[in-house]
Chain A
Amino acid sequence: MSRFEFSLHLFSSVCFLLLLSIQTTNAKSSEDIRCKCICPPYKDVLGQIYNQNVSLKDCNCLHVVEPMPVEGKDVEAYCLRCECKYEERSSGTIKVTIIIYLSILGLLLLYMVYLTLLEPVLKRRLFGHSQLIQSDDDVGDQQPFANAHDVLSRSRSRSNMLNKVEHAQQRWKRQVQEQRKSVFDRHVVLS
């Protein structure tokens, strides 16, 4: 499979398995099911809502509405107007999803802060001014939609792992910069 399909595979399987595992490992806690009966006003009884943790077969007016506000023969008439719904939810899923989302958001924000604020400062301190100028230079091509490909092919000599990561990051930054120029500055794409 191509690289795209592989990463798609990986990402989606991870997500799906994670969420599925939450479903199976969390026993259905009694908190997560309920039967909700809504009863409108009747004669001089006010409208009420009743919640109870009962299962589906017990989800009707007679089991849930306690204490019954009317007597004897009115019970049937009262119950006829009540609407009972069985609901269940998965609190574990909600918790995990929100926490995962917030952590991804937090990571992205930290990365953003690092990229925009800290990295130039660090670079300047470590490598001096000259390197900064060189990496900011628009490498030659003034053509609007240049491939970062050609630029990349020049510096293939490094083999160090850290340099590779650095490399990939530089290439990605250049691509984003191109995209940013097309979208925000020149308004060429995406109005």
Chain B
Amino acid sequence: MTPTEEMNGSGNLMDFLDEPIPDVGTYEDFHTIDWLREKSRDTDRHRKIASKSKESIWEFIKSLLDAWSGWVVMLLIGLLSGTLAGVIDLAVDWMTDLKEGVCLSAFWYSHEQCCWTSNETTFDDRDKCPQWQKWSELMTGHTLGAGAYLLNYFLYVSWALLFSFLAVSLVRVFAPYACGSGIPEIKTILSGFIIRGYLGKWTLLIKTVTLVLAVSSLFSKYSKNEGKRREVLSAAAAAGVSVAFGAPIGGVLFSLEEVSYYFPLKTLWRSFFAALVAAFTLRSINPFGNSRLVLFYVEYHTPWYMAELVPFILLGVFGGLWGTLFIRANIAWCRRRKTTRLGRYPVLEVMAVTGITAILAFPNPYTRRSTSELISELFNDCGALESSQLCDYVNDPNMTRPVDDIPDRPAGPGVYSALWQLALALIFKIVITIFTFGMKIPSGLFIPSMAVGAIAGRIVGIAVEQMAYHHHDWIIFKNWCRPGADCVTPGLYAMVGAAACLGGVTRMTVSLVVIMFELTGGLEYIVPLMAAAVTSKWVADAFGKEGIYEAHIQLNGYPFLDVKDEFTHRTLATDVMRPRRGEPPLAVLTQEGTTVEDVEALIKDTDYNGFPVVVSRESERLIGFVQRRDLILAIKNARQKQDGVVSNSVVYFTEDAPQLPASNPQPLKLRRILNLSPFTVTDHTPMETVVDIFRKLGLRQCLVTRSGRLLGIITKKDVLRHMAQMMNQDPESIMFN
């Protein structure tokens, strides 16, 4: 009989004592879920509902509700994500601009919104309007001059410090789990590890509120995740990316590729639905007008040429190298933060990093503004209408062509100075992101890496463009770049660079390309994006196999068995199982014959998560496996509820009570907490197979037998330690069970 039938209470009269024990089947915090058990319980629940649904209309309705409840949850998640995304977008926009000035007519408008109805008409004044005033203008009445500049500088830094201080205090007081990007933790939770409170409402609230503060104090946006069950969480991740970047399909693929451990078709459908609802909600809220769902919309459709693949591949190499550098440096810095005194002062650290960043960022106009705006500007091509310095090309005043077909032009002085500033901004961003990712406030990685890539790409693009203009007669340019034709689009290089850097850091492939072309709307440019993504992944993988999220998982010692690793060593199950030679023998329970007192002593003396149950100590034939937590709860419940159960009572796991003399106290039946189908392998099973079994089934532990006799046990932690050992990493870094 399987344990599921037992739980249904099918049995004889003696089972009247078998009412369900409260809390049995739940998990301790920071322990691993046993997926097989969860799956069988879920199937059980379904079967019970399905059988009951034939009894009455009410039961039928309840079964319908149960079937629909999954979709309803997805709908709610989509609504919530979309709403939160709208709120965050608006609040971030407003607070970022708050650092520089304020709108006098209505304080809740950002710069762009404040000047929406202005009547300024000349090109020079397009960004100014009387309702929006910088702080220096408000306080002293001056707009230009050293005094005003210093005042603006000072206020910018102070606002940034204030925001980050608020963010870190809120996180510290209300929801310490809201720190960081959360993706490593989500990956681990999805693979079956329990972190109680991580997905709580306080964490969500604080993450939302402080994310706005954190973004406006210079850091960057990322996706939101919330959900409870595994499938719900995967779908929520998809919905999050969908609204954060306006990339619904990319969100689903991101969830599939990066976040989820187990992604069957059902989860795919659900995630798709959730992403759809989220995108729809955000669109209907429409915070910005323009129905702007796409973050970095590019409006050009100029073709690219085969010869341009060379610089694209070079950008891919740059992305891979930067990814490696970033991962190594960030992990080293985080490790130092974890182990030394530096980590004792998180608030101070956040304030110091913010202060330094703000101080260094203000002078350079490319770093002063928000990173999303920077990326937007870098992605965009220079039509005749752009006013930024980057588009300060020397125009031919007698030109009569329409706007879209501007031929190659030599760069004006503005472009050269912009190039210098961009190069400085690049170095600044590379260095600063290493220190900011992992700090004790919510922060993310997508936008900073895209910014680094976009800057590098734009620089390369402008270089190629100018080379093409000044050297039309070179062989490479001769075929596709006639004088007077528009050959090179620097904005495209920026896009490719952004994709390369993001791919180098996270090692995403398909989802990256889809997110990029959904972000920009540039369907013509899929091939360059793919080329860059592939190159950067190859280059980065040559130096280290892990992306940033896997590296953080490893740093924190979460028990995450990665599906992407391959195990190719020729060890056997006996080499990994416990107890090893020289260790105390396995702690087992016998089918009958142990007293309650013995069991309690066993629980107190050891800290194993479960105990195998054998027929007897001589024969050692395996009956089943019982979890520690279930034992504790069952015994406690028995002592409270059942009369006659004392310390000398015999504990039995068989169907019928053992024959005992009448003078013995009442025996305790614990068959319902016994798992009668524990997974077993023989001692000569190769570890390759064992690792595969653990991965595919999501096991927590596995028993090792020889000729039916129990030899030992392999837990997930043992498997992870063994893999770490085989890869020459520190096996003691795996901390959790």
Contacts and interface: CB of A to CB of B under 8 A. Distances in A.
A191 B180 contact: yes
Contacts of A115: 173
A111 B343 CA distance: 26
A176 B203 CA distance: 10
A49 B126 contact: yes
A69 B108 CA distance: 36
A93 B211 CA distance: 20
Interface string B92-122: 0010000000000010110001001111111
Nearest to A40: B384
A89 B176 CA distance: 37
A40 B205 CA distance: 46
A47 interface: yes
Please tell me the size bucket of the interface on B: 35 or more
A173 to B, nearest CB: 10
Nearest to A181: B176
A50 B121 CA distance: 6
Contacts of A49: 120-123, 126
Contacts of A175: 196-197
Interface string B109-148: 1000100111111110010000000000000000000000
Nearest to B228: A4
Contacts of B409: none
A50 B118 CA distance: 10
B288 A191 contact: no
A97 B177 contact: no
Nearest to B118: A51
A15 B83 contact: yes
A79 to B, nearest CB: 11
A48 B121 CA distance: 5
Interface string B216-243: 0000000000001000000000000000
B627 interface: no
A179 B177 contact: yes
Interface in B468-498: none
Nearest to B115: A51
A116 B179 contact: no
B108 A182 contact: no
Interface in A86-136: 87-91, 93-95, 97-101, 104-105, 108-109, 112, 115-116
Interface stretch (B45-53, B74-82, B672-680): B74-82
Contacts of A34: 116-117
Contacts of A40: 384-385, 403
Nearest to A147: B29
Interface stretch (B153-161, B251-259, B278-286, B414-422): B278-286
Interface in A166-189: 172, 175-176, 179-180, 182-185, 187-189
B612 to A, nearest CB: 24
Given A15-B83, A48-B122, A179-B177, A90 B289 contact: yes
Contacts of B109: 94
Contacts of A139: none
A88 B385 contact: no
B37 to A, nearest CB: 19
Given A80-B402, A101-B212, A183-B440, A145 B83 contact: no
B591 to A, nearest CB: 30
A8 B174 contact: no
A155 B39 CA distance: 35
B73 interface: yes
B73 A187 contact: no
A180 B172 contact: yes
Interface in B189-213: 195-197, 201-202, 205-206, 209, 212-213
B346 interface: yes
Nearest to B30: A145
A125 B213 CA distance: 35
Given A7-B201, A49-B120, A183 B177 contact: yes
B403 A147 contact: no
B129 to A, nearest CB: 11
A5 interface: yes
Contact of B176 (A15, A95, A176): A176
Given A15-B83, A88-B289, A104 B116 contact: no
A95 to B, nearest CB: 5
Given A147-B28, A189-B177, A81 B172 contact: no
A75 B384 CA distance: 18
B91 interface: yes
B408 interface: no
Contact of A8 (B76, B197, B290): B76
A190 B180 contact: yes
5 contacts: A8-B77, A13-B79, A88-B289, A144-B30, A189-B185
Interface of A: 1, 4-5, 7-9, 11-13, 15-16, 19-20, 23, 31-32, 34, 38, 40-41, 46-51, 77, 80-81, 83, 85, 87-91, 93-95, 97-101, 104-105, 108-109, 112, 115-116, 144-147, 172, 175-176, 179-180, 182-185, 187-191
Given A184-B176, A190-B179, 17 more contacts: A8-B76, A8-B77, A11-B201, A12-B83, A19-B86, A41-B384, A48-B122, A93-B90, A94-B94, A98-B94, A101-B87, A108-B205, A112-B170, A112-B173, A175-B197, A176-B176, A191-B338
- Chain A to chain B: the 3 pairs with minimum beta-carbon distance, closest first: A89-B289, A12-B80, A98-B108
